[in-house]
Every structure is written in C-alpha cells, then in structure tokens.
Amino acid sequence: MSDRIPLPHLHSGKVRDVYDAGDDRLLMVTSDRISAFDVVMSEPIADKGRVLTAMTAFWFEQFADSVSGHLIATDTGAIDAALGGGTDPDVLADLAGRTMLCHRAEMLPIECIVRGYITGSAWKEYRTSGTMHGTPMPDDLLEASRLPEPVFTPSTKADEGHDVNISYAEAVDLVGTEVAEQARDLSIACYLRGAEWAAERGIVIADTKFEFGMVDGRLVLADEVLTPDSSRFWPAELWEPGATPPSFDKQPVRDHLDGLDWDKQPPPPALPDEVVSATSSRYVEAYERITGRSFADWPGVGA
C-alpha cells in the first residue's frame, strides 16, 4: 500500500502505517495485519483494520466532552483531500474506513495502562510476589478477579520486543509530575466510562492501554482507543474469578498457535481459513455489541 500513497511514509508498525499529510497532520492507515506472540502472521484478518478504526472513532466521539483527541476525520472525502485530490479510486477504496487523518502529536514515552481486573502480566507478577507493578495487592485475589478500583499501571514503549512495566514514580521521571497526573487521571476516567458503557452491553473491559500526546501545549488522546487490540474484552456471561475467559480479539489465533509445535519465532505457521474467519467475526461482534451500530454501515465494508 505504501507505494500507492503519494505522501512521505514515516513509520510502519505491526498493524499501522503512518504518513506525513502536511500542516502538522498525519495519515494513519490501519491494516488487516495481525500479530501473535510478537510475530506478524502471514494471513490478514478481513476488515480488522476497519473495526479498529471504527471503534476508535466511536470512542473519540464518546469522550469528546472530557478529553480532546487527535482525530480530525475518517471520511473518504477528507482522506482524498489529504492525498491531494483526484486519488486513484482503487486506492481510496482500500483506504476507506481504515484511515484516520490526525493532528501530529508529540507522543508521551509511556503507555497509559489501566487495569480493572487482574490478568496477563499483572497476574503473573501477583502470583509470584503478591504485587502489581511493585505495589502490594490484597492477598485473596484470583486470576481475573475484579480489582477494588481501577489501577493505573504505566509501561515504557519498546521499539522491539515487549514493553516494560514501570512504577508511577518512574513515569513521573519520564514525563514530569503535571503531565503524569493528567495522563493518569484521564486514563482512569476514560476507562471507567468505557467499562460502564461496555458492561451495559454484556462486555467486561478487563484492562486497556491509552496513548497521549501534546498538541499545541495540550494533552490529547491519540492512536487507538478501547479497541480489541488495545484492550481485553471479555463476554460478561463467561467471566468468573479463577480463570481468564476468551477475549473478543485474536483468541482463535492464539488458541490455534498454542496447539502447534511452534517456537513463537518467525516465520509464523500458516493460519487455516476457519481461524482467520473466526477471528474476523470476533472483531466485528465486539464492535457491534459495544457501539450498537451495524458494521456493514461503516465505510469500505463489503465494497
């Protein structure tokens, strides 16, 4: 795709490709690539990029009254204009629904993670030492237990490999007291609002990762927001302390790979068609359950 977009290419991650759209703006294109165990699979997941973009746009709308976001537009007309107008129709069709025109932000060097339930790396630490990010926790927690209140547990951003969990004090050292406090408070507030909204629709948001940056001296919410890639979504009817329920995300991929004799190093094994299809369906279901909207109405879907 990058060779078909007439803008300077700035960066490609596991999922997103970022371009310089001029005037302190970025074009962020969310692909259908999927990774597991830090390895990008060879097979794309149909419409995954559009689900992530649609869900992020939804949450930016929901949070607009409490925190500014970096998103400018997702509609095809705005994307065409950012590309200079008269864009190849095939290119526009590929970009439709998976592209965000955004303000360029000076990103904070921390991931703003909020945990409402103890799972993942936090559970592993607790099981070993009774702490979470070095902080002592109640001694009666089970795997996937709901925490007494949401906890802000930042991490560093790693260009390669895994992010590294850090303490709040270390986050202060990286970004300063004022910015750290603002990022923490906004992260917890957005998590609480999102978790309450999702709970009314039968989904538990166990934890999530926010990213913030500075635009014109203001802290803004950036990148993806409360998506199946940046959060753990659990079906409420399957949640019970003592075990982690299946997630509305790449769970079929992880389950398939866990059943193989694979060392979790590139190259990845091929994904069967049924695993690809099941994963796509889980992403779409997460979007429709949370937003109450039909994914078929989102730009580019079914085109």
Kindly report, residue by residue over 107-122, the tens digit of the pLDDT: 999 999 999 999 988 9
At 230-243, the pLDDT tens digits run: 999 999 999 999 99
Lowest mean pLDDT among 29-33, 251-255, 260-264, 294-298: 251-255
At 36-46, the pLDDT tens digits run: 988 999 999 99
Judgement on whether residues 161 and 230 belong to the same structural domain of the protein = yes
Q: With bands split at pLDDT 50, 70 and 90, how would you rate the model's confidence at 164?
A: confident
Q: Has residue 160 got a pLDDT over 90?
A: no
Beta bridge partners of 222: 211
Judgement on whether residues 113 and 175 belong to the same structural domain of the protein = yes
Domain total in the chain: 2
Instruction: Specify if 131 maps to a domain.
Output: yes
Domain CATH for 15: 3.30.200.20
Listed residues 198, 219, 248: the one ending a domain: 248
Q: Are 221 and 68 in contact (CB under 8 A)?
A: yes
Instruction: Specify if 256 maps to a domain.
Output: no
Q: With bands split at pLDDT 50, 70 and 90, how would you rate the model's confidence at 194?
A: very high
Lowest mean pLDDT among 72-86, 88-102, 125-139, 154-168: 154-168
Judgement on whether residues 110 and 47 belong to the same structural domain of the protein = no
Judgement on whether residues 99 and 121 belong to the same structural domain of the protein = no
pLDDT of 268: 96
Instruction: Specify if 175 maps to a domain.
Output: yes
Instruction: Specify if 92 maps to a domain.
Output: yes
Instruction: Specify if 276 maps to a domain.
Output: no
Based on the number of CB atoms within 10 Å of its own CB, is 82 exposed (0-12), middle (13-18) or buried (19 or more)?
A: buried
Judgement on whether residues 233 and 185 belong to the same structural domain of the protein = yes
Residue 192 structural domain = 106-248
Instruction: Specify if 133 maps to a domain.
Output: yes
- Residue 2 or 222, more confident: 222
Give the whole-number percent of the chain exceeding pLDDT 70: 97
Instruction: Specify if 298 maps to a domain.
Output: no
Predicted TM-score of the model (pTM): 0.95
Judgement on whether residues 133 and 222 belong to the same structural domain of the protein = yes
Judgement on whether residues 82 and 169 belong to the same structural domain of the protein = no
For residues 156-184, average pLDDT: 88
- C-beta neighbour count of 131 within 10 angstroms: 12
164-67-145 Cα angle (round to 5): 50
pLDDT of 242: 96
Judgement on whether residues 115 and 99 belong to the same structural domain of the protein = no
Judgement on whether residues 214 and 163 belong to the same structural domain of the protein = yes
